[in-house]
Structure formats: C-alpha cells, structure tokens
Structure 1
Amino acid sequence: MLKKITFVILALAMTLPVLTSCGGGGGAQVIKIGLDIPMTGDIAYVGTQSKRAAEMRVAEVNDAGGLDVGGKKYTIELIIEDNESKAESATAAATKLITQGGVLAIVGPQSSKQAVPTGEVCNENETPMISPWSTNPNTTLNRPWVFRACFLDPFQGPVIANFVTNEFGFTKAAVLYDVASDYPKGLAENFRDAWEKLHGAGSVVAFESFTTGDTDFSAQLTKIKGTDAEVLFTPQYYNEVPLIVKQAHELGLTQVIVGSDSWGDPKTLELCGDACEGLFFSTHYAAEGATGATKEFIDAYEAKYGETPGDVAALTWDAMGILLQAIQNTGGLTGDLAKDRAAVKDALGQIKDYDGITGKMTFTPEGDPIKCAVIVQIKNGKFNFYDQACP
C-alpha cells in the first residue's frame, strides 16, 4: 500500500511541471524555456551576451501579450542555469532543467566543448535543444532532438581557406589551436584539410597546439616563425586571441593572422585593441552597416546595454526566435510535457526559410541550418563586413 501511495505522489509531482509549463488544467499559461549558458568561467562574457539577447526576446513577446499557440496566449518564462564554461557543469545544468525545471526546450550551450556532451543528454531525455553558437558537427550528429542556429565547421574551414587563398594568394599556412577544446580542435582540422586540398599535402607547414588555460604561446609562435608560413590561422576565443596576436607581434612574426567566428565578440576588440586592426575572420554576421531587422536588434541592444552585440548575442536572438516559431507551429500544446516536447522537436525539423538577423535558415534532417558565412575585417576598432560565402 505504501509503495502504491508513493508511486501516486511521484506521478503527481511529475505532472505539476506540465500543468504550469503548458497551461494544462487550470494552471497558469506559462511556457518554460531553459537557458544553459556560461555565466562564470573562461568565457563568462559569452553567457552575459546570451542572457541579454534571450531576455530581450522574451520581453518582446511577453510585452506584446504573450505567445499565441493554437489560439491561446502563453507567457514565456526563462530559466537560466550557469554551466561555468565546463562540459560537466553544462550536462548537469541540462539535466536539472529537464528533470526539475520542467522546461519545454533548452537554448544553449554555446561553446562546442559544452554543447557536444549536453546534446547527448538532451537527446537521451527527448528534450529539444538548440545551440546558437556551437559549430562542431558532433553537437547534432545522430541526435534528432538537437538543433543549432549557426553554420558548421566543415563549411567554415573551407570558407576561410578559400578567402585567404583568393585574397592574398598564399600557399603556406600555420595553425595554432587549443587541443583540449572541441571547437578549436575540430575547426583547426577542417581548415588544415581544406587548405591542403587547395595547395597540396604539407602546405600546412606548422600545426601547433596548446591546452585550455595556457597564456604563454611563445614556444609555439617561435616554431611558426621559423617556417615559411605566410598566414597563421587561430580559431580561439576572445580571452586568447589578444594574447596570441600581441605575443606574435612581440616575437616579430610577419604572417597575416586570421581567425574564425569565435573572434566575433566585443571583448576581442576591447582586449586586442590596435594589435588586431586590419585582421580578418569568418563569422555569422557583421554589425557595422547592418540594415533591417538586424539593425533594429543592434540598436535596441546598444540602447539597453551601451555596446554592440557580438555574434553570440545575435545567434541567441535567432535561436530563441526559431524555437518560439516552432512552438507556434505545433498548433497547440496539450499540457503533457513529453508530448509537447516531441511536437516542438518535430516542428523545429520542419522550419524552412526562417528569416533571422544572422541570415535565412532552413534546417537539414540533421538539425543544421543551411546558411551563409561572412568575412569580417577589424577596421577602426569595429567589425566591418568584407565578403560573404554561401553553400
């Protein structure tokens, strides 16, 4: 008898989040969305931008009276968990959001180092996840419940390799990357493969690595200096790029330095200053010269926070928008969290020609958007559009 009572209590406890999340029964008309982001740790400013953009999107919806789903209005509630810029914390945060938070879906994590393992957790727990910024293919690979709002590294690697080849006519390259982090490691390999496809085996004359947390890159840069490399590709984050660029200059390296979408953070400009002037990187959007809805978002963000939003903020805005569109496309929520999560997952997979501020997106069956990349040049202390590459 005791076991039977306990089972009933547990069953009721599991039902309560459903009633409040989706407005079943007489509960409040609220949809809970989880945000799994790094508010502390190595890339905490990524989390700051993510939180700002997500809260702006939620405020826009709620201030307009809520989200209309099947003729019912729902208030959006954002539940934020700090993943501390760590893989193990990101998976723990996702588990908490799914099992305790009663969220309908999760936005994040951002970095591939956190997004890849978290994608496994969300997929196994049949909860939709959309990563705004993770470009590593493994985030969504064989995971029908996991999506992203950005292009993939197998696309980005050739984009930067082709750009450098066409822009400068170089044939010899060097790479410096963090071997302990999924994103830079994967993208470094994608760039190397694309470069050697263009220029032949051995045309990447230095492939140097370091480990997360390192701040002295002089040994690797000295090796690169001793080669005939004409360009140095380093797909690192805002806290590492300024150190690498400044140390390269101090050591007398003359190679052109180029980067990837992880450079597209306002902190890169702040921390690197004149040392990064004139450099190029591949990314998702360019704030300078933006028009239409993109400019409206930038203007609103600048008015509220006093600075220009980076890539991760723009992609978070789009990820939230895609998720909200998918929720509406379900045609209605039942109040059964498992069924509603499945409906949202199916609706995400059917998104076509979503007009985001980082570009138009249609999802492939793997949960990846087909979209363009841009080449940005750092000029006069700003991220300026220079070129575009599309699939």
Structure 2
Amino acid sequence: MENKVLHKEQFIKRLRGLKSQTGRLQMKNSKSRRTIIKLSTYALLATVVGIPNFAFADGKTLKIGQLGVMSGAEASWGLVNKYAAEATAAMWNEKGGIDIGGEKYKIEIVSVDDRNDPKLTVSGSERLMGQEGIRYVIGPNTDVTATSVRPIAEKYNAIYFPYASSRSLFTQPAENAVMGMVASYQVAPAILELLQKERGVKKVAFVARNDSDGLSNRDDGVAAATKLGLDVVVADATYEPNVTDFFPIMSNVVDKAPDLIFLPASAPSNTPLLMRAARELGYTGLFASDSGQDIKVIKEMAGEYGDGLISIGGASTPEIRSQYMDAFIENYTKVAGEWNDEAGTKVYALEVILAALQAAGPAAIDDASLFKKQIADFSMRNPFLKADSTLSFTGEADYGQKRQIGVPLVLTETKGGEFVTISIGAVK
C-alpha cells in the first residue's frame, strides 16, 4: 500500500474543513459531541505545536524480540539489553523509522523476562517467534537459556543473538544463533596476556559462580592462564549464585597471595561484593572479569575498594565514543532512568540487525534465510566509535563460520569511580 503522508499544512486544512462540517451537524448524541471536541483539539494542537511530516503516515511496524533475564541477581544483563534496544528503536523512530526497500518501518521492541529459567526461555521463544511471528530476537543471556532457544529458532527459521559463549550454539550444524558479544574464551586470554606483559602478573586465582556459565568460563580462563605460563594458585574456588557473604571463600583465596583474582562470568551485583571482601581481608592486587560490569553498582557496593578491576567494556568511555554514542547514552538514560556502562557492550545488536535488513531487503523481515545470505560479506561503519572502523560478522576462527557480531574487544579498568579504556582489539 502506498504511504499517504499528510504534511502539516494539509493536515490543518483538512481538520478545519472537518470542523466546519461538524459544526453544521446537529449534536444528537454524546458520541457526536465527543468527536467534535477531539477534532477541535487536534486542530488546535496542530496549529500550536506543529505536526511532524511522518506522524500520520500509514506506517509499517518492524517487531524485534528481546528475551533475557530481567529479575534476580543477573537481572542487569537482560535489562540492559532491553533498554539498549528500546533506546536505539526510539532514536530511529524519532527520525521517522527505518527505511528498508524504500518503505519506512516503525521499530517495536517486544520483551520477555525468562528469569534465567530455561522453561521460561522456551515459552518466551514460542511467544516471540511463534505467536508474534518475530524472526529476530536479541538474547538470551546465559549458555543454558540460549541452548534452549535453538530448537524453537530452527522450527521458525528465526535468528537470535544470545549473550552466551557455548561453542555449540555457533558451530555447524547450528546456524540460527549469532553471538552478540565477545566470548569469555576470547576475553580471558586478552586480559591475562595484557596483565602479564604490562602489570607483571605471575600468579592468578579463579573464583567462579557455581553454575554452568561460571564453571565453563572458569575452565576457559584456567586454560588460557596455563598456556601463558601463569601460576594458577587457585582453580576450584566457587560460590552459589545467591550468596552475599564472600568472606569465607575470599579468605582462602587471599591466603594464596595471587597477583590477580579472576572472576569468571561474575554478575554486576556480585563483583563489587567479591572485591570488597578481598580488599578488607588485605588483598592489594588486581581483579578481572570476562563479563560486563556496572560502575554505579561498583561505586555503591565496593566504595573505596572498587579500583583495580579489569573487564570487558564497550563504546561508552568518553575518550573513544562518537557523537552518535553520546546520543545513544542520552536516549538510554531517558528509557532506563539512569546510564549503565554495560550498555556500551549491548548497543551493537539492534544496529547491526537493522543495517543487515536494509542490505537484505524487506522480504528478509519474514524470511531469515535472506538475512543469513548477507552475513558473509556484510559490513558497516561502526557508528559508536570516534575512530574510523567497521562492524561486520566474525567468528570463523572459533566456529568455522561467521556467527558473531564483530564487537570491538575493549578492555577497561576501574579508576576513581570510572571506567578507563586500556586496550581496544578485535576478534577474528
């Protein structure tokens, strides 16, 4: 159907004409009176504040799903995905929507909280991909929940962008998942090598959450440390996901005198408590995590003990971000109520989805096989960094196929209550 757009002057003229006609009608019932009042009000608003050219177009809607953990200790991971997608959508919608094949689409984000429960992930996937007919879903956030999506995505030929690192999700015969982040086994070697070369780290202790993600990331980190020749003084220290007293576990770790305490897959709510416990026990070395963190939570919960954490970052630090990233931060803050630095790692998924859909054409909105054909050669300018760089799909080195968004491998350090960028690399 052809888009019929009423410009401001045309809109006001037509409303005035309608108002004139309604004035000649006899007000036989309350419905007629309400209609006339509404028309008069709209005409007045159009005259006073103006009407955007696109506001009354016969628009199309592009639905994007967002599925993840938005309650519990890991809630920040899914909520940041949700707010990042909503902020990006708002930025596009303010410009009239996304142009795909010559037609403008309003972007709508449909979110489901899976509470980090695979059963809820399955039902959420069925709702988004089956009932809603959505073919592109951002999330979920852990290996277990991401694995549970695979059969549903294959059934509906949908593509999902999990923040999980299980290699089986992205390796043939699997082809419907695209990793939205840098994997833990890509982050850990980069952190460990940098700290070995530049900070003289020799001894490392691993303290992992006792679940599949924490233990898997721990094993990857231990393997990377061993390969680099580091002395792994603690490899079996674990804690339960809901624990809040970390003094018993950290007491044993600090006694081993490591130079670095590595916290695999640590949730933003746990990291500062782990750091505080170690510092109060006399630890003076560095910390590291292969997952995104929240500087506000670190400041509030770790206080003076919050410095010295090396972790994966994004495009949010002032020294590297572009004006477009500044605009995203402003919109994210409007949506979420406050800024979260982890959004710097979650900002990429929707922008890449939209750009790839533009390249693939409108038929790809309902047919993800057309999107898949774009993956091999797709590239776009990275709009979030000051430096001239490109975004593409990567992952061939780890998965034998391109099933990962080429998010820059940014490492940050907490200093004086802020994240400071210390390294920017890339995943092949």
RMSD: 2.6
- State the one-letter code of the partner of 2:282: G
Return closer, same or farther for 1:281/1:334 CA change in 2, 3 Å cut-off. Answer: closer
Q: Per-residue deviation at 1:348? A: 4.1
- State the one-letter code of the partner of 2:65: G
In the alignment, which residue of structure 2 is the partner of 1:279? 309
Q: Report which of the two structures shows the higher radius of gyration computed on alpha carbons.
A: 2
Mean Cα displacement is larger for which, 299-308 or 80-89? 299-308
Choose the corresponding residue for 2:350, options 291, 300, 320.
320
Choose the corresponding residue for 2:416, options 380, 383, 387.
380
Which structure has more RCO (C-alpha within 8 Å, separation ≥ 6)?
1
Question: Structure 2 matches for 1:89-128, cutoff 5 A?
Answer: 89-128=120-159
Q: Are 1:282 and 1:373, in contact at CA under 8 Å, matched by a contact in 2?
A: yes
Q: Which runs of 5+ in 2 are unaligned?
A: 1-57, 395-400
Task: Tell me how far apart the structure 2 counterparts of residues 113 and 262 of structure 1 sit (CA, whole Å).
Answer: 18
Return closer, same or farther for 1:260/1:368 CA change in 2, 3 Å cut-off. Answer: same
Q: CA offsets per residue over residues 161-198 of structure 1, 9 Å max, x none? A: 1022012212211100013132x323222221111111
Q: Are 2:181 and 2:346, in contact at CA under 8 Å, matched by a contact in 1?
A: no
Return closer, same or farther for 1:261/1:124 CA change in 2, 3 Å cut-off. Answer: same
Choose the corresponding residue for 2:373, options 346, 370, 373.
346
Task: Tell me how far apart the structure 1 counterparts of residues 326 and 424 of structure 2 sit (CA, whole Å).
Answer: 18
Return closer, same or farther for 1:114/1:271 CA change in 2, 3 Å cut-off. Answer: farther
Task: Tell me how far apart the structure 2 counterparts of residues 327 and 154 of structure 1 sit (CA, whole Å).
Answer: 29
Q: Which runs of 5+ in 1 are unaligned?
A: 1-26
Choose the corresponding residue for 1:148, options 154, 174, 179.
179
In the alignment, which residue of structure 1 is the partner of 2:338? 307
Choose the corresponding residue for 1:224, options 244, 253, 263.
253
Return closer, same or farther for 1:138/1:150 CA change in 2, 3 Å cut-off. Answer: same
Mean Cα displacement is larger for which, 214-223 or 298-307? 298-307
Q: Are 1:38 and 1:82, in contact at CA under 8 Å, matched by a contact in 2?
A: yes
Normalising by structure 2, we get a TM-score of 0.75
Percent sequence identity is 22
In the alignment, which residue of structure 1 is the partner of 2:384? 357
Task: Tell me how far apart the structure 2 counterparts of residues 304 and 100 of structure 1 sit (CA, whole Å).
Answer: 26
In the alignment, which residue of structure 2 is the partner of 1:161? 192
Q: Are 2:68 and 2:112, in contact at CA under 8 Å, matched by a contact in 1?
A: yes
Question: Structure 2 matches for 1:244-259, cutoff 5 A?
Answer: 244-259=274-289
Q: Are 1:153 and 1:186, in contact at CA under 8 Å, matched by a contact in 2?
A: no
Q: CA offsets per residue over residues 171-226 of structure 1, 9 Å max, x none? A: 211100013132x32322222111111116xx211111223222233332222223
- The DSSP-based 3-state class of the residue aligned with 2:363 is coil
Q: CA offsets per residue over residues 139-182 of structure 1, 9 Å max, x none? A: 42332111123222221110111022012212211100013132
Query: How many correspondences in the alignment?
Result: 357
Q: Per-residue deviation at 1:366? A: 3.6
Q: Are 2:184 and 2:291, in contact at CA under 8 Å, matched by a contact in 1?
A: no
In the alignment, which residue of structure 1 is the partner of 2:101? 70
- The DSSP-based 3-state class of the residue aligned with 2:244 is coil
Q: Are 2:246 and 2:274, in contact at CA under 8 Å, matched by a contact in 1?
A: yes
Return closer, same or farther for 1:140/1:291 CA change in 2, 3 Å cut-off. Answer: same
Q: Are 1:323 and 1:348, in contact at CA under 8 Å, matched by a contact in 2?
A: no
Q: Per-residue deviation at 1:320? A: 0.6
